[in-house]
Amino acid sequence: MSNAARKRGVRINENLFDVGVAASEGYGHDMGASVIDIQTKPIIRAKPIDIFKIQPNPTQPRRVVPSQFRGGPLLDQIEAWLDEVETESGRAFPLEALIMGKVELRAREERQATAEELPLLRLADLAASIHQDGLTNPVTVAGSGDSYLIETGERRWVAYHLLNAYIGGDAYRAIPARRVAAVNLWRQASENTARDNLNAIARARQIALLLMDMHGWENFEPIEAFEREQEFYAQVADSKQWRVPYGRAEQLCAACGFENASRIRQYRALLRLTREQWIRADDRDIAEFELRKWLHPRRDTAVTKADSNEKTSTLPAALERFDKHVTKSQFDRLAPGQQQWATDWMKALLERMERWGADE
């Protein structure tokens, strides 16, 4: 430990952030701060808070309980979810046995699980892990007294409710929590990205929240003003009106775990799904690539056959998009059979690029 750190009373081993938290501290603050400055900043100590004094954040991108069951007491939501899972699968779901560690979740069960079962399986497995090994990462909440709002860790909070209900006693009545002055959306995004992958709809929510934060919340209505939660996020669906502010695309990509800005546009486009599509995609964890088909039904590109008697031919639409690689003059010099092969090859290339993240 350096003398400077010792004088400041910083105990490195006890106060280091994990990677996600340390990185997220930079957002919205002095981006010129060194890694050492961020790492040696003392963190807020976690203290137990009654789980019944904590409320989920209605704008949190990740949804723990499927939309159709949200509303009312949390355990009633879980019970309704469990009933639906058992009805759809036609078999009993060993929720209590999973939570208490009497049976273990194996890869085979995950592969065979239905879309409704899988998130419940993973939630029960998280509860079992906490029961066996303890909570290694406290939740983060904003507020004081008898009312707190979750910033990060809603799945852990729900798992504590399951443990409290099925195991009882005082062990799971209170959950270790770090208290902060206000919810930090960039810190929230960093944890969401670092942990279990968000589904496509959750990523669209995450992008919408960060864009609203960039443009200023005074320009948008709160979520309580909307009948449906999708309408709240769709306030920034128009990419021309609500562009990513100049110079901040890299920051937004880093927060969301994207390799380039085209992914921002693709996920933002999901805000235009119909209400039924939005709910179905969220509850069933449908991939963004599949959802693109809902927004833009695939149309076969018309292939223009070259007339061997003519000196010129029309470049197919697929090749027009990539004429910097295959020019019209080059295409015209090909034999008819070669033109067909080139066209088919380019169509296949386009499909692969669309699949792996080409811009819309």
- Please give the full DSSP string across 225-255, using - where no structure is assigned: G-SSHHHHHGGG--TTTSPPPTT-HHHHHHH
Q: Residue 357: its pLDDT value, please?
A: 47
Q: What stretches of 269-313 show up as alpha helix (H) in DSSP?
A: 275-283, 288-295
Q: Is residue 180 one of the residues assigned to a domain?
A: no
pTM: 0.68
**With bands split at pLDDT 50, 70 and 90, how would you rate the model's confidence at 268?**
very high
Q: Is residue 156 one of the residues assigned to a domain?
A: yes
Q: Is residue 20 one of the residues assigned to a domain?
A: yes
Q: Residue 343: its pLDDT value, please?
A: 73
CB neighbour burial string for 260-279, b if at least 16 within 10 angstroms, e if fewer: eeebbebbbbbbebeeebbb
Say whether both 240 and 342 belong to one domain: no
Q: Is residue 110 one of the residues assigned to a domain?
A: yes
Say whether both 324 and 338 belong to one domain: yes
Q: What stretches of 147-274 show up as alpha helix (H) in DSSP?
A: 154-166, 185-194, 200-215, 229-233, 249-256, 262-268
**Lowest-pLDDT range, 3-7, 55-59, 201-205?**
3-7
Of residues 175 and 285, the one with the higher pLDDT is 175
Q: Is residue 214 one of the residues assigned to a domain?
A: yes
Q: Is residue 181 one of the residues assigned to a domain?
A: no
Say whether both 137 and 156 belong to one domain: yes
Say whether both 261 and 344 belong to one domain: no
Say whether both 22 and 54 belong to one domain: no
Say whether both 280 and 230 belong to one domain: yes
Q: Are strands 174-180 and 47-50 parallel, antiparallel or unpaired?
A: antiparallel
Say whether both 261 and 169 belong to one domain: no
Among 149, 173, 197, the domain boundary falls at 173
Say whether both 197 and 155 belong to one domain: no
Say whether both 74 and 168 belong to one domain: yes
Say whether both 290 and 304 belong to one domain: no
Helix (H, G, I), strand (E, B) or coil at 124: helix
Q: Is residue 178 one of the residues assigned to a domain?
A: no
Q: Is residue 9 one of the residues assigned to a domain?
A: yes
> Domain range spanning residue 13?
1-43
Q: Residue 32: its pLDDT value, please?
A: 37
- Averaged over 206-227, what is the pLDDT? 96
- DSSP for residue 211: H
Whether the predicted pLDDT of 43 surpasses 60: no
**Lowest-pLDDT range, 168-177, 277-286, 348-357?**
348-357
Q: Residue 36: its pLDDT value, please?
A: 34
Q: Residue 138: its pLDDT value, please?
A: 95
- Averaged over 254-262, what is the pLDDT? 90
Of residues 315 and 128, the one with the higher pLDDT is 128
How many domains, in total, are found in the chain? 4
Q: Residue 197: its pLDDT value, please?
A: 72
Read off φ and ψ for residue 115, nearest 5 degrees: -60, -30
**Lowest-pLDDT range, 48-57, 102-111, 163-172?**
102-111
**Lowest-pLDDT range, 14-23, 64-73, 94-103, 201-210?**
14-23
Among 240, 275, 295, the domain boundary falls at 295
**With bands split at pLDDT 50, 70 and 90, how would you rate the model's confidence at 91?**
confident
Task: Kindly report, residue by residue over 129-154, the tens digit of the pLDDT.
Answer: 999 999 999 999 998 878 999 999 99
Say whether both 144 and 128 belong to one domain: yes
- Residue 174: enclosing H or E segment and its boundaries? strand 174-180
**Lowest-pLDDT range, 126-135, 212-221, 300-309?**
300-309
Say whether both 5 and 72 belong to one domain: no
Among 173, 194, 221, the domain boundary falls at 173
